[in-house]
Amino acid sequence: EVQLVESGGGLVQPGGSLRLSCAASGFTFRSYDIQWVRQAAGKGLEWVSGIGPSGDPYYPGSVRGPFTISRDNAKNSVYLQINTLRAGDTAIYYCARSMSSASGTYQFDYWGQGTLVTVSS
């Protein structure tokens, strides 16, 4: 059974940092891209980062912003480092699986249950 389990969320003060983890099981991890998507309360889905099987990172636009994505294929895990957190980063962060392609990626066929990040003093 394919499973993605996020962890690492919590309450953090503005300006702080967090490292979110996505632990995968039930599939050949090194063959897939892993994506991070966030959702603020009452808002839509926002893609924030992705990583290819070999560790190639993808970010929105031309600026990475506060996010750094990485993966450890030996541990079947992907990490999202978020620095300089602001109130606007408060959201549920989901990780999702997508099959890698030569020119990009495919649809997100499995999602984790999400981890809540709250930025507040």
What does DSSP say about strands 115-119 and 10-12: parallel, antiparallel, or unpaired?
parallel
CB closer to other proteins out of 46 and 72: 46
**Do the Cβ atoms of 99 and 52 come closer than 8 Å?**
no
In the set 1, 13, 44, 54, which binds other proteins (CB under 8 A)? 44
Q: Is 104 in the site for other proteins (CB under 8 A)?
A: yes
Stretch that binds other proteins, among 8-16, 66-74, 78-86, 102-110 (CB under 8 A): 102-110
User: Helix H segments across the chain?
Assistant: none
Give dist(CA 79, CA 54) in Å, integer.
Answer: 14
CB 55 → other proteins: shortest distance, Å?
15
Residue 107 contacts other proteins per CB under 8 A: yes
